Structure 1
Amino acid sequence: MQTELTLPAETDDLRRVYGVFPSGVVSVCALVDGNAVGMAFSSFTSVSLDPPLVSICPAHSSRTWPSLRRAPRLGVSVLGVSQAETARRLSSRNGDRFADLEVASSEDGALFLPDAAAWIDCTVEAELRGGDHDVVLLRVQRMAMASDVDPLVFHASSFHRLDPLAGSGRG
């Protein structure tokens, strides 16, 4: 089946097309000046094995990223399927994102969320301007994973769980 390709007309059109591609969801959190600061990202990806790099893409309009980027270490938690409400809270522009939210802190101030599928302790390696967002390369310093936790998936503007194809195992 062929489809006629069109130029992006509106931001909403782009969001719908980008939303066809499912992604994982991560939190990026740290202590900054003694306060818990964090946000959620669906724009997270692995970049390099040598050196170990991952990336996130904060919007220029973010009020959280300018503060968070000053932290010496950032805690990336790959959110688990049970953490959809946590992702919503960390994406909110209003209220205390960390009210009643359990976190674990490293000695360097990276914050991690329990019940995640994986945890990655990072430092900011580089920031590149990319349209209305920045591409931030993070260097992996330490990591851990929970092999029994399925990741949270973001697709078509909502959260989902992985659903393996029937009869074929995990994929």
Structure 2
Amino acid sequence: MSLDLREFRDALGSFATGVCVVTAHPEGFEPFGMTVNSFAAVSLEPSLVLWSLQNTSDCYAAFEKADHYTINVLSESQRELSNYYARRNQHTLLDDHYRIGKTGSPILRGAVSSLECKIWARYPGGDHVILVGEVLEMEYSRNEEPLVFHAGKYGTIR
């Protein structure tokens, strides 16, 4: 069976997801972030989450060096932040966008939730690498609505 890759991508886009910016500050790199929507829960005990990174990403080398990162689930008011950190070669965090968390990883201000993780495992996944992280620290705001992505467009759950 041969899939039409555009049609496959469109089919995947029919699944509504949240929007996250994964942030890190590995040795030898500036604090940086990149927009992703490939985030999922794995386990409650231990507390594990995953996301995937394209092998050709301009952030690949930095994430190879990272042993900690933060998954920042964006709020509906953070579309501009999502767009900003989605651009190729535009991943250095702006000073007013973040602060340093308890694990030393950058945390975005205004996120619905921020999960500070230690790398648990890396797995090959076709043209991506799957990064599994153990959540060490977290912050969660019940007052913020998440930013949603569906069929190539942003939305909200309201």
Q: Answer yes or no: same fold by TM over 0.5.
A: yes
Note if contact 2:33-2:91 (Cα within 8 Å) is conserved in structure 1.
Answer: no
CA offsets 1:106-142 (integer angstroms, 9 cap, x no match): 2543111111100111011111111111211111001
Determine which of 40, 53, 67 is the counterpart of 2:62: 67
Determine which of 103, 108, 120 is the counterpart of 2:98: 103
The structure number with the bigger radius of gyration is 1
Could you say which residue in structure 1 is the equivalent of 2:151? 156
Higher fraction of helix: 2
SS state of the match for residue 120, structure 1? strand
2:13 is matched by which residue type in structure 1?
G
Q: Percent identity?
A: 28
- CA drift at 1:95: 3.7
- For residues 8 and 97 of structure 1, the distance between their equivalents in structure 2, rounded to whole angstroms, comes to 39
Q: CA distance change for structure 1 residues 100 and 160 in 2, over 3 Å: closer, same or farther?
A: farther
RMSD in angstroms over aligned alpha carbons?
1.7
Alignment pair present for 1:57 and 2:52: yes
- CA drift at 1:40: 1.2
Could you say which residue in structure 2 is the equivalent of 1:169? none
CA offsets 1:141-167 (integer angstroms, 9 cap, x no match): 01110100011111111111112xxxx
- CA drift at 1:11: 1.5
Where in structure 2 are there 5+ consecutive unaligned residues? none
Could you say which residue in structure 2 is the equivalent of 1:12? 6
Note if contact 2:29-2:62 (Cα within 8 Å) is conserved in structure 1.
Answer: no
1:112 is matched by which residue type in structure 2?
I
Where in structure 1 are there 5+ consecutive unaligned residues? 1-6, 164-171
2:81 is matched by which residue type in structure 1?
T
Q: TM-score, normalised by structure 1?
A: 0.84
Q: CA distance change for structure 1 residues 100 and 50 in 2, over 3 Å: closer, same or farther?
A: closer
Note if contact 2:98-2:106 (Cα within 8 Å) is conserved in structure 1.
Answer: yes
Q: CA distance change for structure 1 residues 95 and 138 in 2, over 3 Å: closer, same or farther?
A: closer
Q: CA distance change for structure 1 residues 47 and 103 in 2, over 3 Å: closer, same or farther?
A: same
- CA drift at 1:71: 2.5
Determine which of 113, 116, 120 is the counterpart of 1:121: 116
CA offsets 1:1-27 (integer angstroms, 9 cap, x no match): xxxxxx553211111000000001111
- CA drift at 1:78: 0.7
